Structure formats: structure tokens, C-alpha cells
């Protein structure tokens, strides 16, 4: 009597898929509303927490370009987050305080570094690739520790934040600029995933030899993805420095790279929205556990392992289903 299909769980999957756009809209509205709510209640800590979430979400989206789309497991992407942060005090020390010029310097500095690191690392595969990216990250970590002019291992408070020529914007303006950048990067990531570039990158992740046998050399695609990934992480570091007013070598630590990987995997490896959801979930759970006990790491570790085992397609896969998870 019923005309509804009953096989294959089509209806539940359809409902999950349709939930995805509503969740995206809710996340954007929540992001826009945070400074407004904080202004009415005087809760500046909420803005600080949300700013941190957006920074790490942007870095996780960047890492997802090479890890999720290309299958390149990098343990060194915190290096680019830290380098992006150090651009601000170094440029200011050179007399460059204009934010747009600092971003240009960021691209000119981080782009070639990522190109060299990527070209060397991509000559290897598997555990060797992981170890080489980690080695480069540690090298730059100790280099920043040796920068006594910029605080050494203790870091340095910024005397001059980046100036974008907008009067009276302050931290709220930076917050909205970060939110807008994250939205643009996620949209660009979605377009990239559907493009020929993204399809070749994902095919190489599955079987690199077959891609080469079809007449396409995957190496240039992988290298470009690695460089783009590094630049996005560096931009996240640039915002981190301006929002916190502080820069230290701790942002280059290998543990930060590990946290970024956890965020990508937790949200949904290879999905477009997964890194944002992963960063949001990871950092909110971390803040909640910190409020409960000083031994929060003992709880967080097993919890992450359990979620990784139970959620094979990540948290975003629960909302979007297989169809939505693949598309977004």
C-alpha cells in the first residue's frame, strides 16, 4: 500500500544528507553572533575561545588539502602555523606594519619554504614522509627558539598588530576577517575537490601508480596541494598572532601538528566541512574537560581513540551521510 522505498536505508541517508546545509547555516550564524552576544553580556572569553576554534579550523582545512585529499600524512604543518605567526613581529621589526604587505611577505616567505620541504618530502612515501616533515618542523622550532630578539623560547608580546587601514575595527574586526577567510577557504576547498586537480589528487591517494599509468604525473599535483596547504596554515598563524597578541615557538611544536591531524580525522578525513567540525568538537571537549579536572588529558586521549574507532567517516559523516560526506 505504501509507495515509499524500503530497501537500502535510502530514507535515513536522505535525511542525513539534507541536514548538512542546515548545519552549515547554523555554524555560520553562530560564528557571526558570537561577538554580538559577547558585547551584550561582556563575556570576552567566549570571543577568545571562538577565535581559537576558527584559527585551528582554518589550519585543519589547510592540512586537509594534503592529508585528506592527497593522503600525505604531514607531521610538520605546525611549522607553517608558527611561521605565519612570526611574520607579524618580524615584519613589524622591519618597519612593515601594513597587514596586506605582511600577508604578501607571508606568501613570499612560506611559499618557497613549503615548496622546498614538499619537493624533498615527496621523494619518499609512508613513514619516511612523516619523519621528514617532522624533522623540518623540529628544525624550524629550534630556529625560532634561538631568536632571542623575538623572545626565544618564552615568546614575545606584539607591540604592533597588523594594520589593515580600517579604523576602530580592533579584535572584533580581526575575528570577522578570520571568519570570512575560513568561509572562503572552505568554499575554495569544495571547488578544488570537484575540479580536475582535486580528482587527480584523490586518485593518486588511492593508487598513485595507476594515475601515472594513465599518463598523468601526480607529483606536481601533490606538491601544489602541499604548498597550498602550508599557505593556508600560515594564514591561520597570522590571525593567531594578531588575535592573541603573542607569538612563541610553542605554536611550531610537533604536538600541534598531531592535534591538527586529530581534528581532520575526527571531523571526517577528506571531507570539506569535516576539519571545521573536528576543530570545533576537539577544542570544545578540551575546554569542557579542563573545567572538570586538571587530569583532562587522561580522559581526552581514550575519548579520541574511541571516537576514531566508532566514527570511521568522522563526525561530519554522521550528519551528511555517505553522499553528503563525499560531496562536502
Mean pLDDT, consecutive 10-residue stretches, the chain (328 aa), reads: 43 49 81 83 83 94 93 91 93 88 94 94 89 93 88 85 69 87 93 91 88 86 94 95 91 91 90 90 87 81 80 76 48
Q: What range defines the domain where residue 34 resides? A: 22-253
- Within a 10 A sphere around the Cβ of 291, how many other Cβ atoms? 8
Check: CB of residue 38 under 8 Å from CB of residue 163.
Answer: no
| 265 domain-assigned | no
| 31 domain-assigned | yes
| 276 domain-assigned | no
pTM over 0.85: yes
The number of distinct structural domains making up the chain is 1
| 123 domain-assigned | yes
How far is Cα 24 from Cα 13, in angstroms, rounded to an integer? 18
| 282 domain-assigned | no
Q: Nearest CA to 317 among 309, 328, 306?
A: 328
| 201 domain-assigned | yes
End-to-end alpha-carbon separation of the chain, Å?
A: 36
| 225 domain-assigned | yes
Which residue is listed with cell 587522561? 298
The pLDDT assigned to 166 comes to 63
H helix intervals, the chain: 10-41, 44-66, 78-93, 99-121, 127-145, 170-194, 196-206, 208-213, 218-244, 254-268, 274-292, 296-310, 314-327
The pLDDT assigned to 115 comes to 95
The pLDDT assigned to 36 comes to 84
| 133 domain-assigned | yes
For residue 49, the Cα-to-chain-centroid distance in whole angstroms is 16
Amino acid at each position: 500500500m505504501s509507495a515509499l522505498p524500503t530497501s537500502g536505508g535510502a530514507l535515513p541517508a536522505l535525511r542525513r544528507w539534507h541536514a548538512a546545509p542546515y548545519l552549515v547555516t547554523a555554524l555560520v550564524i553562530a560564528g557571526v553572533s558570537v561577538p554580538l552576544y559577547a558585547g551584550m553580556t561582556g563575556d570576552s572569553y567566549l570571543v577568545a575561545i571562538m577565535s581559537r576554534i576558527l584559527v585551528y579550523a582554518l589550519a585543519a582545512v589547510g592540512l586537509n588539502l594534503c592529508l585528506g585529499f592527497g593522503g600525505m600524512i604531514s607531521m610538520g604543518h605546525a611549522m607553517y602555523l608558527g611561521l605565519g605567526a612570526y611574520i607579524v613581529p618580524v615584519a613589524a621589526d622591519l618597519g612593515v606594519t601594513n597587514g596586506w604587505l605582511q600577508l604578501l611577505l607571508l606568501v613570499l616567505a612560506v611559499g618557497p619554504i613549503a615548496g622546498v620541504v614538499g619537493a624533498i618530502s615527496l621523494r619518499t612515501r609512508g613513514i619516511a614522509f612523516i619523519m621528514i616533515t617532522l624533522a623540518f618542523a623540529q628544525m624550524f622550532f629550534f630556529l625560532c627558539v634561538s631568536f632571542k630578539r623575538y623572545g626565544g623560547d618564552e615568546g614575545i608580546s606584539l607591540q604592533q598588530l597588523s594594520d589593515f587601514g580600517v579604523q576602530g575595527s580592533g579584535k572584533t574586526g580581526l575575528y570577522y576577517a578570520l571568519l570570512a577567510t575560513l568561509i572562503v577557504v572552505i568554499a575554495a576547498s569544495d571547488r578544488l575537490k570537484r575540479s580536475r586537480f582535486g580528482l587527480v589528487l584523490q586518485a593518486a591517494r588511492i593508487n598513485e601508480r595507476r594515475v601515472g599509468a594513465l599518463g598523468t604525473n601526480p607529483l606536481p599535483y601533490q606538491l601544489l596541494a602541499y604548498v597550498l596547504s602550508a599557505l593556508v596554515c600560515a594564514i591561520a598563524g597570522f590571525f593567531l598572532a594578531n588575535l592573541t597578541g603573542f607569538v612563541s615557538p610553542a605554536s611550531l611544536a610537533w604536538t600541534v601538528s598531531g592535534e591538527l591531524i586529530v581534528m581532520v580525522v575526527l571531523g571526517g578525513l577528506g571531507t570539506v566541512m569535516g576539519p571545521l567540525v573536528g576543530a570545533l568538537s576537539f577544542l570544545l571537549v578540551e575546554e569542557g574537560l579542563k573545567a572538570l579536572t586538571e587530569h583532562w588529558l587522561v580522559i581526552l586521549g581514550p575519548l579520541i581513540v574511541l571516537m576514531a574507532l566508532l566514527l570511521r567517516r568522522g563526525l561530519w559523516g554522521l550528519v551528511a551521510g555517505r553522499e553528503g560526506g563525499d560531496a562536502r
